[in-house]
């Protein structure tokens, strides 16, 4: 797993941070707006925002006073790609299993045919 | 192989893949538990599995391990699983370390269709909460993108 992916998953491990991201999916918001639904301090919210920012999941505006937060979707795509890769791995395996099964059955069949021929030779 | 279907995901972070093979159930099952057979198909495209890396202890709690080696030498991907269920020739499942301390479980069931064919269902579950969250969030942002596109088209 890449470092970016680890950072993404670590950031998503916390329910408060997930709730913040869910809120940001509706559009930009300020720290005060984001803090509203929670019974935790602005300071605690700021700490969560720092984790999210470091993980690249959000970006913040430059205006020093207002600095609205915005959701960044690229790291999330990378995380979901991981799940897609799991699916791709299983698809490859099961395709290749078909080839293996065909080969085993072909070998068994020719083996049986040879046995039968041997039997005929003895007759 | 007579039929391929990839189901809609029943839930976030769950992967279900179904295949039907023209082969009897015992034979299909044996491919997953005999190292010589497993090594031939277990590595996804672009990788191979050295036979000596395969460890299969066919019992609950037994090890299920293989090393997937990139054909171009760019890397190695170890699988270190433990059997959670082992009931030949019907079902086996194994857990492997996922992210952090959580483990992911892959369950394979083998259904005898009664006409010489076998249906194999792979169900990967117990995907860590973080993965499911990422999927949910990405789903939310992509539907948001679509909504923005829709607004722009008005």
ipTM: 0.73
- How many angstroms separate the CA atoms of A82 and B52, rounded? 28
Mean pLDDT calculated for residue range B65-80: 91
- CA B60 to chain A, closest CA, distance in angstroms equals 22
Which chain A residue's Cα is nearest to B48? A93
Q: Is the distance from CB of A48 to CB of A33 less than 8 angstroms?
A: no
CB contact under 8 A, A18 and B133: yes
B15 vs A17, B6, B52, B64, B68, CA distance in Å? 26, 9, 29, 20, 21
A→B contacts (Cβ < 8 Å), by residue, are 1, 6, 8-10, 12-13, 18, 21-22, 25-26, 71, 73, 76-77, 79-80, 82-83, 86-94, 96-101, 104-105
| pLDDT on residue B36 | 95
Can you tell me the mean pLDDT for B24-50? 95
Q: Report d(CA B111, CA B36) in Å as an integer.
A: 23
Q: What value does the mean pLDDT take over residues A21-38?
A: 87
Within 13 A of B128's CA, how many CA atoms are on the CB side?
21
Q: Which of A23-27, A48-52, B124-128 has the highest mean pLDDT?
A: A48-52
pLDDT exceeds cutoff 90 at B9: no
Measured in angstroms, the CA of A123 and the nearest CA of chain B are apart by 32
Beta strand residue intervals within B34-129, DSSP E: 47-48, 55-56, 63-70, 76-87, 91-97, 103-112, 118-125
Query: Among the listed ranges A58-67, B39-48, B133-142, B143-152, which one has the minimum average pLDDT value?
Result: B143-152
Q: Which residue has the higher pLDDT, B39 or A114?
A: B39
Residue A2 DSSP label: -
**In sequence order, which ranges of chain B are alpha helices (DSSP H)?**
25-33, 35-41, 129-153
Cross-chain residue pair A96–B21, CB shorter than 8 Å: no
The answer, yes or no, to whether residue B143 has pLDDT greater than 70, is no
Higher-scoring residue by pLDDT: A6, B141: A6
Query: Would you state the pLDDT for residue B16?
Result: 83
Contact B134 A87 (CB under 8 A): no
Min distance B135 CA to chain A CA atoms (Å): 5
Q: Read off the tokens for B147.
A: 């909504």
**Cis bond upstream, residue B40 (ω within 30):** no
User: Stretch A59-63: mean pLDDT, rounded?
Assistant: 82
- Span B4-12, mean pLDDT? 41
Compare A22 and A17 and report the one with higher pLDDT. A17
Distance from CA of B42 to the nearest CA of A (A): 5
Is pLDDT above 90 for A49? Answer: yes
CA distance linking residue B66 with residue A71, whole number of Å = 39
Q: Which of B6, B100, B134 sits opposite A76 (nearest CB)?
A: B134
| A1 CB-near residues (< 8 Å, 6+ apart) | A9, A82, B99
- pLDDT for B60: 93
Nearest residue, CB atoms, B27 vs list A93, A98, A104: A104
Residue in chain B closest to A10 (alpha carbons) equals B130
| Percent of all residues in chain B with a pLDDT value above 70, rounded to a whole number | 68
Q: Which alpha helices (DSSP H) does B1-128 contain, by range?
A: 25-33, 35-41
């Amino acid at each position: 797993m890449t470092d970016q992916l680890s950072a993404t998953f670590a950031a998503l491990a916390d329910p408060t941070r997930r709730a913040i991201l869910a809120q940001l999916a509706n559009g930009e918001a300020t720290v005060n707006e984001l803090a509203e639904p929670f019974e935790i301090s602005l300071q605690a919210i700021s700490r969560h925002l720092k984790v999210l920012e470091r993980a690249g999941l959000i970006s913040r505006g430059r205006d020093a006073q207002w600095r609205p937060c915005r959701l960044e979707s690229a790291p999330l795509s990378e995380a979901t790609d991981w799940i897609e890769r799991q699916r791709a791995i299983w698809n490859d395996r099961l395709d290749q299993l078909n080839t293996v099964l065909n080969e085993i059955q072909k070998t068994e069949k020719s083996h049986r045919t040879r046995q039968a021929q041997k039997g005929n030779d003895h007759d | 192989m007579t039929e391929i279907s990839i189901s809609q995901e029943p839930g976030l972070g769950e992967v279900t893949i179904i295949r039907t093979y023209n082969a009897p159930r015992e034979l299909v099952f044996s491919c997953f538990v005999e190292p010589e057979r497993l090594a031939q198909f277990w590595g996804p495209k672009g990788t191979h599995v050295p036979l000596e890396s395969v460890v299969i202890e066919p019992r609950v709690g037994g090890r299920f391990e293989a090393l997937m080696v990139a054909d171009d030498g760019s890397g190695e991907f170890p699988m270190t699983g433990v059997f959670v269920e082992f009931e030949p020739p019907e079902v086996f499942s194994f857990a492997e370390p996922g992210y952090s301390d959580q483990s992911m479980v892959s369950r394979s069931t083998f259904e005898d269709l009664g006409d010489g064919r076998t249906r194999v269902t792979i169900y990967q579950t117990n995907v860590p909460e973080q993965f499911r969250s990422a999927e949910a969030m990405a789903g939310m942002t992509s539907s948001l993108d679509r909504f923005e596109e829709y607004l722009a088209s008005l």
